[in-house]
Each structure stands twice: as structure tokens, then as C-alpha cells.
Amino acid sequence: MTLPVYMISGFLGSGKTTTLLHMIKESKRRGLKTGIILNELGEKNVEADYFEGQHIKQLLNGCICCSIQDDLKETLRSFKDEDIDLLLIEGTGVANPRDIEDALLSLEFIECFDLYSMISVVDGSSFLEFQNIFSSNKEVRKLLHEQISCATMVILNKVDLTKPGVLSKVEKKINGMLKQDVPVFQTSFGEIDSEELFEKRYMRSNLNSRQTDPHRHNHSTIRSIKIEDVPTLNRIQLNKWVENLPKEVLRGKGIVEFKETPGQFLIQFSSGKLRFERIKSREESNVIILIGDGLNVEQLNTSLQELATGS
């Protein structure tokens, strides 16, 4: 008996983890035991609170489509003998889902795992900006195309942040990248009918039509950096720092403390928005992880420390 697998891809900050959490919640409601493979570019997952009590295996400090491909295969082997009903895989925001697909369809795993769906999550509010040759680089545009073109369904997310005229342009652009009959669902906060989300859409009969490209790893300059020992700030200071981040910063998240409020908070930065959420557990230290193209950790750390001291 093969194990159903759902793969979730999408660019940085599109809402992949939100979609993953929806699927975990629905699986629990259905009485299904779920295995999770979660991949992060950084060496720390600051969103660990979201997955408390879950059967999760994390692949950190690299991308499962290239630098830790062997780790992915080893993790898949470990799930072959687990007592679970389905497996959910979330790649990094710069992962090429075709490489994960290749692993699942290899001779070693094709009789163990049944790929049900390749779900691509798209941030409608920033998609056109990432497609613009003047505001993004070729690597990002190619990666977005690959994440969409291999999808069996697309979640066009953050429509609440997207003007109607822009949204229609985004959908037209996406439809031009998709295979025939691939549905696009417009959502806010990743909310989508569970039947649509869990439907089996990947067909092995289509394998012969798959396109292969031996030179797919195209995110060589996109890296994560970690700013450690983040000083205690107030919200205004942190907002100011985020507003002045270089445009090369594509995504940010971390654990911080505020002067005006006790406790630690998870911060999320994407699509020009900064969000805060109190966390339950106590982390040893405050940390901010930024993902982007050619980031200078020393400069970013210095600017944060200067803001905290008022220098």
C-alpha cells in the first residue's frame, strides 16, 4: 500500500505554512495520522510552536532540491515504516518542486509513496512585482515559473491585499504558465475548501509528458542570514528597521521581545507587511532570520544595534 503525499511549494512569504497548517488541522479532524517534512533555508525554525505535538521531521540549513537532497531521501526512507496515513512536504520558498517530485518518483520510492498533489501557493499582492524585470532578478522569475508550471493546483493567496485590476492580471499571467485544466483558487489567509485541497490531482499517466531540465538549481544567490542576540526594542523601532531593509530582503521572521510588552513574539515579514504573534514557549535567545539576495549580515546587525541604542 502506497502512502499519499501532498507537496506544498511557493515563493517566500506566499503562505505555504498557513496552507500546511490547514491540512494538518483537517487531517486531524478526519482522524488521519500525518507525517510532515518541513524544510527551512536557515539553521533554526522559529515557527516550531505551530507544530507542537506533530509528527514532524525538519530539514534545516539548506534546500531539499539541491544542497540537502540526500537528507530528503534519508527522511523519506524513515517515513516508509512509520504508522501514518499521509505525508505532507513543505519545501523552502526557493525550492524547485520538480526535484522533490523526482525523488518521490525514483525507483526507490515510487512503490512506497503516491504523489497526490503538487500545490503551489502564490502571493497575489507581490506576484507582478516579482515578474517585473526592473524589480526582480532572472533567478526569481524563473523559480516562480517553475513552481507554478508543475503545479496540479494553485492557491492564489492574499487576494485581500490585491486590487481587483491587479488580481485579474496576476491570474492571466499564472494561467499562461499552467498545464491544461489546472485549477486556480483565490484565497485570503489560505482558506480553501478541504475537499479541493485534498483531492488527488497528480496522475502517473502523465509522467511521459514531464519536461526535464538538468540545470534547474537557479537560486544560488538567495540565502538566509541569522541575526543573533537581537536587542529588546519597541514596536516603533522594529517597524522602522523593517521599513529600511534593503530591497534584496525577500522574507523575514524571528523571535523578539518588546520593551512595552512582556514575553516573546514571533515576527513575520513578507509582502511589505510586518506581523506579530505571541509565542507560548520560551526560546533561549532572540533571533531574526532574513532571506534574500546577497545580504550582508554585519551591516544589517549593525543597523539593528544602532537603532536599539539610539546611536
- The CATH number covering residue 8 comes to 3.40.50.300
Beta strands in 211-272 (DSSP E): 222-228, 249-258, 261-270
What's the grid cell of residue 261? 510588552
Residue 118 falls inside a structural domain = yes
Using the predicted structure, report yes or no on whether residue 147 has a pLDDT greater than 90.
yes
Asked if residue 60 and residue 160 are part of one domain, the reply reads yes
193 DSSP assignment: -
Q: Looking at 152, 182, 209, which one is the last position of a domain?
A: 209
Question: What confidence score (pLDDT) does residue 4 get?
Answer: 97
User: Which own/partner pairs from 177-180 qualify as long-range (CB within 8 Å, at least 24 positions apart)?
Assistant: 177/145, 177/148, 177/149, 178/148, 178/149, 178/151, 178/154, 179/149, 179/151
Asked if residue 167 and residue 196 are part of one domain, the reply reads yes
Residue 217 falls inside a structural domain = no
**pTM of the shown model:** 0.86
Residue 214 falls inside a structural domain = no
For residues 232-247, give the mean pLDDT.
91
pLDDT band at 220 (very low <50, low <70, confident <90, very high): low
Using the predicted structure, report yes or no on whether residue 134 has a pLDDT greater than 70.
no
Q: Which of 135-139, 262-266, 292-296: highest mean pLDDT?
A: 262-266
Q: Looking at 178, 209, 240, which one is the last position of a domain?
A: 209
Residue 271 falls inside a structural domain = yes
pLDDT band at 204 (very low <50, low <70, confident <90, very high): low
Question: How far apart are alpha carbons 62 and 275 in whole angstroms?
Answer: 25
Asked if residue 185 and residue 160 are part of one domain, the reply reads yes
Asked if residue 19 and residue 164 are part of one domain, the reply reads yes
What's the grid cell of residue 244? 529600511
Asked if residue 10 and residue 95 are part of one domain, the reply reads yes
The answer to whether the beta carbons of residues 104 and 75 sit under 8 Å apart is: no
Q: Which of 25-34, 240-249, 265-274: highest mean pLDDT?
A: 25-34
Q: Looking at 154, 184, 209, which one is the last position of a domain?
A: 209
pLDDT band at 62 (very low <50, low <70, confident <90, very high): confident
Question: What confidence score (pLDDT) does residue 121 get?
Answer: 97
CATH of residue 297: 3.30.1220.10
More confident residue, 14 or 66: 14
Residue 251 falls inside a structural domain = yes
Domain count, the chain: 2
Give tens-digit pLDDT for 84-96: 999 999 988 888 8
Asked if residue 53 and residue 164 are part of one domain, the reply reads yes
For residues 144-148, give the mean pLDDT.
94
Asked if residue 256 and residue 234 are part of one domain, the reply reads yes
Greatest Cα-to-Cα distance within the chain, rounded to the nearest angstrom:
63
Lowest mean pLDDT among 30-34, 177-181, 271-275, 287-291: 271-275
Give tens-digit pLDDT for 161-194: 999 999 999 999 999 999 999 999 999 999 999 9
In terms of residue numbers, what domain contains 76? 3-209
Question: How far apart are alpha carbons 119 and 54 in whole angstroms?
Answer: 21
Asked if residue 282 and residue 256 are part of one domain, the reply reads yes
Asked if residue 238 and residue 159 are part of one domain, the reply reads no
pLDDT band at 200 (very low <50, low <70, confident <90, very high): very high
Give tens-digit pLDDT for 26-49: 999 999 999 999 988 877 888 888
Residue 215 falls inside a structural domain = no
Residue 104 falls inside a structural domain = yes
Lowest mean pLDDT among 89-98, 116-125, 206-215, 279-288: 206-215
Residue 47 falls inside a structural domain = yes
Lowest mean pLDDT among 112-121, 155-164, 184-193, 211-220: 211-220
Q: Is 294 left (phi over 0), alpha (psi -120 to 50) or beta?
A: left
DSSP bridge partners of 62: none
Asked if residue 157 and residue 8 are part of one domain, the reply reads yes
Asked if residue 166 and residue 83 are part of one domain, the reply reads yes
Asked if residue 264 and residue 158 are part of one domain, the reply reads no
pLDDT band at 156 (very low <50, low <70, confident <90, very high): very high
